[in-house]
């Protein structure tokens, strides 16, 4: 399912890497499984999720989504995916420094850069930037 690799000069130990990886995996699997509670646990309430997408031959533009929108879309099944090949994830934790972390994710459809913060209860995703990796995917 998810493959984690680490890189970067500042690592905070195997436990922190596993926790960050699990949060990012929860985010994707919640999307694929239409599990809004799992999505809510992965996201910081002040999430800033952005896409950088081209449309109709025009230059790419930024589009934004919030935690509230992501949780709602998840509940509606917008990302439901059952094909095991399309659920494949490669998660790379690039760096953990104190209470912040950065990771990147390659999946069948997305390349996503993820920033996380350690809250009192768990790691939470605070920022993401993504684009399509599936060239056959229609521009949105």
Each domain of the chain, given as residue ranges in start order, spans 2-132
Name the residue with higher pLDDT: 129 or 138.
129
pLDDT at residue number 133 = 87
Window from 5-14, 58-67, 86-95 with minimum mean pLDDT: 5-14
- Cβ of 55: how many Cβ atoms within 10 Å? 12
User: Does residue 6 carry a pLDDT above 60?
Assistant: no
Fold observed for domain 2-132: Nuclear Transport Factor 2; Chain: A, (3.10.450)
Q: How distant, in Å, are the alpha carbons of 21, 60, 109, 140 from that of 136?
A: 28, 16, 10, 12
Weakest-pLDDT range from 9-18, 47-56, 59-68, 102-111: 9-18
> What mean pLDDT comes out for the span 65-87?
94
DSSP character at residue 139: P
């Amino acid at each position: 399912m998810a493959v984690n690799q680490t890189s970067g000069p500042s690592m905070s130990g195997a436990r922190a890497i596993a926790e960050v990886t699990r949060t990012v995996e929860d985010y994707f699997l919640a999307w694929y499984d239409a599990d809004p509670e799992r999505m809510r646990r992965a996201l910081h309430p002040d999430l800033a999720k952005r896409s950088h997408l081209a449309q109709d031959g025009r230059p790419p533009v930024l589009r934004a989504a919030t935690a509230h929108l992501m949780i709602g879309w998840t509940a509606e099944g917008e990302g439901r995916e059952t094909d095991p090949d399309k659920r494949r994830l490669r998660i790379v934790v690039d760096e953990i420094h104190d209470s912040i972390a950065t990771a990147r994710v390659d999946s069948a459809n997305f390349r996503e850069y993820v920033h996380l913060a350690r809250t009192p209860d768990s790691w939470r995703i605070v920022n993401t930037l993504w684009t399509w990796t599936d060239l056959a995917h229609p521009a949105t």
